[in-house]
Structure 1
Amino acid sequence: MTQLKHAGGRKMLRILSRVSASSLQTQRNLNAAAVRRSLCCAASRSAPLCSGLAVNIMEPKLYRPPPEVRGMTLLDKEAFTRTITVPALRVPAGVLNKVVKSLRKSSIQRPGVPRVVQDEEGSSDFRLVLLDPHKVTSPNSFSEAEAEALRAFGVAQELQHYNLQLTYHNLKSEEVLEAVLPQGQDVTSSFSRVGHIAHMNLREHQLPYKNLIGQVIMDKNPGITCVVNKTNVIHSTYRNFKMEVLAGEENMVAKVKENGVTYEFDFSRVYWNPRLSTEHQRVVQLIKRGDTVFDVFAGVGPFAIPAARLGANVLANDLNPESYRWLQHNCKLGKVEKKVRTFNLDGRAFVQGPVKQELPALLKEKAAVHVVMNLPALALEFLDAFRGLLHQEPSCEENLPTVHCYGFSKEGDPETDVVKRASRSLGFPLENRCSVHFVRNVAPNKDMMCVRFTLPKEVLFSGDHEQTEPSEEPAPKRQKCEEAKDSM
């Protein structure tokens, strides 16, 4: 009965909330109408100009470009020019700086539009401060603090009107694209920035406007000199994709700085994702001086090079010859080439080659060993390469590696999914023996996850090293731990 009362109470609160919100919105609409009427009376010098000011100021899309630009596929910047009327205050030149500072929240904020212009009456003793037409609609629109400042500086709260010419350069990229693309279609001005390159993923309906979109993105973002569009999915082997240049120079060699480290690479031939900088930093912070890092899918070095700069010994590998070349270049650029050994091998061959050779000695040391496997499309499937990797009998003091393995999941419970797949590949259950970190949402219903676990002895030293396909139902053999012998 108590639960029913609570439920009924919550329902009543929701109803009252909606009624209250509706009443509030109605009152706001009435207030807005009153403001429109008062502005005509307060800011007028002639009725026609006042009427035009009121219509322009209260128009929701005041800065909307002319309708003639709709459907444009080749950018014509002149076609975006139009004149609007905005409110202004006539301010004595002697107090101009103080007034501008006091009205910083109410003054106009548009790209390339000055907040202060010459007085239209030609007096050198006064200036006009342009105001935001969406915030200032009447002399009563100023806050109490602003009104008090204006009185203190002797500025009359009488609104002037100013005819402002807006051009293409005064519009934001999303405003330009919204005016050009068909109404009702998705408009995007988002992109990933890689050095001087803006990387976009255009949708089908945007392709007829692709060159215009590219030019707008380049115009509106200082430092961008090349805009590209991805034309296919990432290649699973080399993790790169074909790109089409939409605007600007065809220079694909980018220079970026991430977490204090500089990288150079050909963006069209290697994999780089600027959205992973936080994840790179998170993992590198787990590594200490003297540790050893095996980077199985190293790319151009975003894990390997920062780890080496912290004093770790790094073995970095990538199958893509271009990634391998730029990895070596970036090691020299970061002055860590003596701390990073580079390899150009398949991931499984790297594990069963260099990793296998180095591990026996590393397991007897105190410094930690990390294995980073950042190939989320396939890395979980590579875990079977660790089965029976070593043949010697383990001791209690073995310094077992920590694995950081990445994977994509489209399941409703991505944590359970990646752990299950990692367990199946290892042939050993990782439930309650690992941690899972959410990295990022890649696409709707597709998450990138990182599974972190200590490589089990039962996997590393198992006798079924010939097996390449993990069994459906792993039956691990738990070996008895004997007393460690002092090998020092």
Structure 2
Amino acid sequence: MLRALSRFFSSTLTQNKLKLVPVCCNFSFEALHPASPIMGSELYQFPPEVRGMTSLDREVFAQMVTVPALRVPKGVLNKVVKSLKKSTIHHTGVPRVVADKEESEDFRLLLLDPYRVSSPGSFSEAEAEALRSFGVAQELQDFELRMTYDNLKTEEVLEAVLPLGQDVTSGFSRVGHIAHMNLRDHQLPYKNLIGQVIMDKNPGVTCVVNKINIIDSTYRNFKMEVLAGEENMVTKVKENGVAYEFDFSRVYWNSRLSTEHQRVVQLLKRGDTVLDVFAGVGPFAVPAARSGINVLANDLNPESYRWLQHNCKLNKVTSKVRSFNLDGRAFIRGPVKEELPALLKEQAGVHVIMNLPALALEFLDAFRGLLDPELSCSQNLPVVHCYGFSKDENPERDMVERASSSLGFSLEDRCSVHFVRNVSPNKDMMCVSFTLPKEVLYSSDKETTELVNATIQEPPAKKQKCEETSDL
């Protein structure tokens, strides 16, 4: 048989080559397709009209195939199924046990995986011994099985449809009812078919979208097109036990940052204060507030600001979160500057979160000379967690050097750098954490202070490129 049939039946191939990556209630997958020979006497292949199909015709995939079967007495059926667990069929919608062809009520047919079993000698010693002990004859029968589109997995359909020799690896991130894809150029002619297959094969997905450009707007949302399903972009997700709602087409959300959100929130203590400079819809701010943290949360995007307030109400933490709709520097040089003197006099910690990886390091200069030198103190200084992308061979060193340059003060041996995730083969997302140096916060350099103050004016309307082309 052709390798297509092996993908019909091989539980081993499916289990070992289909990698699920859970992210709370969201997930993504990658499917790989190495060539695998299959043992059998008949050839099976999809009809010619399947290859190159751009409009999904589910009926074309229906075929009759022959698989091996074992005739088993009904009284020992459960024991035999358990003993031959690795050799039976494991495939979507395919029963392992069917009625006996001789219509005997005393027997059932146990369907076997043709990738593993082609003759009685294919059974392992343990399986053969089990069959002997249960009085089951090791004689195989042919069973005609009707396979349909419903029995195929996503990657099996795509491999049958896309041109031979082309990479059919596909992936998506799930955001509530939305499957978010980043299709490659050779997949675009089949984009609507791919979207429909994704929706068919993933219960609960009612909308499939494709990112059609990089994140290149001031508000960090990207353009997308609907490939299949309803055009409803308002979605609900749950991350680390916290519920969020937002319009996915107008705000930034990345399901793969769930672990990082949790990591930072766990660093905080009840009674601390968080200053979230680029808060988005609240993935740091809301769980922090739920943990008894006081939060000042800011985002320049009016839609993110609106959904941030909505999520605070949704999670009943409105009293713990003060929200702002300002540019990042204006937030630092305004509300943060006003609140810091009193906060630093208290015993509780102060944490500044700056999660705008493409640009956040450039905003660190806003802390230069932020407070009056006459109010200088060296205790309870703010701890900054600043994110960035790095394409350097040594991303840790790169992050420290860029943060030091922006602050005008060396952070060598005064900070820690945490690897967050690999965004693309040559780009990492990192987080540099450090206690804001007294020499920066209380700088008396008037020229530096005037320069920094001059940078907080609202930026002209222009696009800020946040290159995340591989960021699903």
Whether the aligned pair in 1 keeps the contact of 2:417 and 2:432 (CA below 8 Å) is: yes
- SS of structure 2 residue aligned to 1:299: coil
Give distance in 2, aligned partners of 1:469 and 1:431: 26
TM-score by length of 2: 0.85
Whether the aligned pair in 2 keeps the contact of 1:198 and 1:224 (CA below 8 Å) is: yes
Equivalent residue for 1:323?
304
Deviations 1:141-183 (A, max 9, x none): 2223222222222111111111111111111110110111111
Give distance in 2, aligned partners of 1:110 and 1:63: 17
- SS of structure 1 residue aligned to 2:258: helix
Q: Which runs of 5+ in 1 are unaligned?
A: 1-55, 471-488
Give distance in 2, aligned partners of 1:255 and 1:398: 42
- Among residues 385, 393, 410, which one is paired with 2:374 in the alignment? 393
Equivalent residue for 1:173?
154
Letter in structure 1 aligned against 2:201 = K
Whether the aligned pair in 1 keeps the contact of 2:388 and 2:429 (CA below 8 Å) is: yes
Give distance in 1, aligned partners of 2:279 and 2:44: 47
Distance 1:236 1:435, change over 3 A: farther
Letter in structure 2 aligned against 1:95 = V
Alpha-carbon deviation of 1:237?
Answer: 1.3
Distance 1:175 1:458, change over 3 A: same
Equivalent residue for 2:17?
none
The alignment status of 1:252 with 2:230, answered yes or no, reads no
Q: Which runs of 5+ in 2 are unaligned?
A: 1-36, 455-472
The alignment status of 1:275 with 2:256, answered yes or no, reads yes
Equivalent residue for 1:240?
221
Letter in structure 2 aligned against 1:214 = G
Letter in structure 2 aligned against 1:158 = E
- SS of structure 1 residue aligned to 2:374: coil
Q: How many residues align?
A: 415
Equivalent residue for 1:191?
172
Alpha-carbon deviation of 1:57?
Answer: 5.1
Equivalent residue for 1:334?
315
Distance 1:285 1:62, change over 3 A: farther
Equivalent residue for 2:385?
404
- 172-181 or 96-105: bigger deviation: 96-105
- What's the % identity of the aligned pairs? 79
Whether the aligned pair in 1 keeps the contact of 2:376 and 2:438 (CA below 8 Å) is: no
Letter in structure 2 aligned against 1:467 = L
Distance 1:354 1:449, change over 3 A: same
Correspondence list, 1:421-440, <5 A: 421-440=402-421
Give distance in 2, aligned partners of 1:224 and 1:60: 39
Equivalent residue for 1:28?
none
Alpha-carbon deviation of 1:399?
Answer: 0.8
- 282-291 or 140-149: bigger deviation: 140-149
Letter in structure 2 aligned against 1:312 = I
Give distance in 2, aligned partners of 1:154 and 1:339: 70
The alignment status of 1:466 with 2:447, answered yes or no, reads no
Whether the aligned pair in 2 keeps the contact of 1:442 and 1:448 (CA below 8 Å) is: yes
The alignment status of 1:312 with 2:293, answered yes or no, reads yes
Distance 1:356 1:103, change over 3 A: same
Equivalent residue for 1:74?
55
Distance 1:77 1:424, change over 3 A: same
Alpha-carbon deviation of 1:188?
Answer: 2.6
- 444-453 or 150-159: bigger deviation: 150-159
The alignment status of 1:365 with 2:346, answered yes or no, reads yes
Equivalent residue for 1:8?
none
**Which structure is richer in relative contact order (CA contacts within 8 A, separation 6 or more)?**
2
Give distance in 1, aligned partners of 2:276 and 2:170: 35
- SS of structure 2 residue aligned to 1:277: helix
- SS of structure 2 residue aligned to 1:227: strand
Whether the aligned pair in 1 keeps the contact of 2:373 and 2:443 (CA below 8 Å) is: no
The alignment status of 1:229 with 2:210, answered yes or no, reads yes
Give distance in 2, aligned partners of 1:214 and 1:60: 35
Give distance in 1, aligned partners of 2:261 and 2:44: 41
Whether the aligned pair in 2 keeps the contact of 1:65 and 1:176 (CA below 8 Å) is: no
TM-score by length of 1: 0.82
Whether the aligned pair in 1 keeps the contact of 2:66 and 2:143 (CA below 8 Å) is: yes
Distance 1:236 1:61, change over 3 A: farther
Equivalent residue for 2:135?
154
Whether the aligned pair in 2 keeps the contact of 1:64 and 1:179 (CA below 8 Å) is: no
Deviations 1:174-215 (A, max 9, x none): 011011111122213310000010000011111110000000
Alpha-carbon deviation of 1:118?
Answer: 1.1
Distance 1:159 1:459, change over 3 A: same
Give distance in 2, aligned partners of 1:379 and 1:62: 58
- Among residues 292, 302, 309, which one is paired with 2:273 in the alignment? 292
Give distance in 1, aligned partners of 2:197 and 2:346: 57
Equivalent residue for 2:426?
445
Give distance in 2, aligned partners of 1:63 and 1:135: 17
- SS of structure 1 residue aligned to 2:331: helix
RMSD: 1.8
- 285-294 or 59-68: bigger deviation: 59-68
